[in-house]
Structure 1
Amino acid sequence: MPKPARKTPSLAAIENRRAALRSELAALDQQAREAHEAARDAGRDTLLAALERVRISAMGKADARAIARAIATHDAGAITQKLSELEPSSAA
């Protein structure tokens, strides 16, 4: 027995589906932005907890901002590597 012909969707149904998909994509884009922002700030709590356990000598706002910019700009592993290369006498 032959299969019945498939009903072709109407143009209105296609446009409705397209609008629903666009809306879903917009929601996914927003979720991706939020997840990206959360990932960019994921190390903050760990860093602040570590900073509370060490003594930090006096520094000016400019130095503090420069350190914060370096942390925000560079990978934590790269900063750790550079800091580990410092001589103990030059870290004082």
Structure 2
Amino acid sequence: MAMTQERMRADLARVLRMPPEEIGDEEDLIDLGLDSMRAMALLTRWAEAGAPLELAAVAEKVTLGAWWALAQRAMSSRRDA
């Protein structure tokens, strides 16, 4: 399955046990209940799907919008390499 922002939202919703539509692009994911263990599991899953994200980068701003921007850059860098 291709990495998309909606896939990221669905993965987050699954681990947070909430409907995807309740996760806005600028919602603080920690406030929604995301912890470090679940975040690491998601990062591993997304890296396997072709969107490797660095923990330090995702820790700077913990929102779906920020993470999707990082994923887009990572996927673009991989294509350009």
Q: Under TM normalisation by the shorter chain, which class is it?
A: 0.3 to 0.5
Q: State the TM-score, normalizing by the size of structure 1.
A: 0.30
Q: State the TM-score, normalizing by the size of structure 2.
A: 0.32
